[in-house]
Structure 1
Amino acid sequence: MPIFTIAFRSKGRCTSDPRNKGSERVMQKIGMVWEGRLREDLLLSEGWRDSLIYSILARDYNS
């Protein structure tokens, strides 16, 4: 499940587990842009997990 945040009302950000291809497709479908990958970002019971970062600017979302 992606985590979505709004920063300064001008940019929305979302993080997702790289193994969750469905979430990645949703982020792409709504026009979010891939910003990068945070390596070993989150410690889960099965070990460290990377996070994908996607974002969208307010001006792009509203157009």
Structure 2
Amino acid sequence: VTDKFTESLYVLANEPSVALFRLQEHVRRSLPELAQHKVNMQSWEEQSQGAIYTVEYAC
């Protein structure tokens, strides 16, 4: 019983570091996809602005 209690305290004491590790892991996995999404959105915005400009001045 004492070993389980000590082990539980050890896990709880180190929980913040585990949480930060998981957060860092998530960011490293997600960041390239988010960066590519940003590039795609910027490209789409440029294309749509060009189309809007063309429509406005075509009339």
TM-score (norm 2): 0.25
Q: Which has the higher strand share?
A: 1
Q: Which has the higher helix share?
A: 2
Of the two, which has the highest radius of gyration?
2
Q: Which structure carries more relative contact order (alpha carbon 8 Å, separation 6+)?
A: 1
